[in-house]
Amino acid sequence: MQLKAIKIGNLHTKNNVFLAPLAGYTNCVFRQMCYSLGAGLTFSEMVSAKGLCYDSKNTRELLLLPEDYEGIKAVQIFGSDPHFMRRAAESDELAPFDLIDINMGCPVPKIFKNGEGSALMANIPLAQKIVCEVAKAGKPVSVKFRTGLDEKHLVTRDFALAMQDAGACMVTIHGRTRDKIYSGPVNFEQIASAKAALSIPVIANGGVFSLKEAEELMDKTGADGVAVARAALYNPFIFAEITGGPVPDKKSVIKRQLADTFRYFDERFAIVFMRKMLAFYIKGQPNSSAIKLALFKCTCRQQIEEILENLTF
């Protein structure tokens, strides 16, 4: 894997292996952990622009940033109304963030039916208007999208060019259509067609669960970097693997994640979140089913810590 810094407007990442935004998971603690393991850039969970404008408590919690948070601070927002998108980008809540990423690839039905996420790939003029308005906040803007809504409507190159023309400083392309959700082969050719046409960085996303797959994605697309998504949930140490960095003691890293999650979030959230994370981390291990059952019965931090102490990674 050829590592390099990526220039996004006036920002420079430490390398070209990124953590993609993951709804429900990429909170500040998980992002900081992945950054410390080698990720060159991490993104927040996607945040509703209207939720920000209407002062939603749940939305504000997604934007939590500790004072010692490291690296470029990147937030992902979604919406279909250019006015609200600009208001969100200029809001006090997003002031601490350096980079604003716009979600134009989410395939979830309730997002799609609202004309948001991947639905914007079918309305290039509106998508461009959104990028133009968000860029008025004065921060670098990136866009994450897919190859199209389905195989009959592949728009990767044209959509990427339109985003660049509208003012995007980087694009991340998930190499699947909206109807494929998160399964099926990655369309290398579609990402490559966009990379060949653009002058801004192109990050390839989809199907990266190992160094070999990261290298294949880079080789077959010519992309400037890769974004790791679901693989990071099961194995956040993949960033050390891909970047060639040292792999620290895994249990110590996870203990730190648990402690910081309880430090920055309320107990109820921390219990539910860390039960889910430990269930991911033990996938494929002996007796994992029994351990998961015990995990999901945990009602306090001490019980989770006791299970973690007896695990081997």
Domains belonging to the chain, first-starting first, are 7-243 (3.20.20.70), 250-309 (no CATH)
pLDDT (tens digit per residue) in 122-169: 999 999 999 999 999 999 999 999 999 999 999 999 999 999 999 999
pLDDT (tens digit per residue) in 222-244: 999 999 999 999 999 999 999 99
pLDDT (tens digit per residue) in 15-34: 999 999 999 999 999 999 99
Q: Which two tokens stand for residue 112?
A: 């799609």
Q: So what's the pLDDT on residue 39? A: 98
Asked if the model's pLDDT at residue 292 lies above 80, the reply is yes
Q: So what's the pLDDT on residue 284? A: 86
Catalytic residues: 106
| CA angle (178, 182, 185) in 5-degree steps | 90
Asked if the model's pLDDT at residue 313 lies above 90, the reply is no
Q: How would residue 193 be classed by pLDDT, with cut points 50, 70 and 90?
A: very high
Asked if the model's pLDDT at residue 75 lies above 90, the reply is yes
Mean pLDDT of 106-132: 97
How many angstroms separate the CA atoms of 39 and 242, rounded? 9
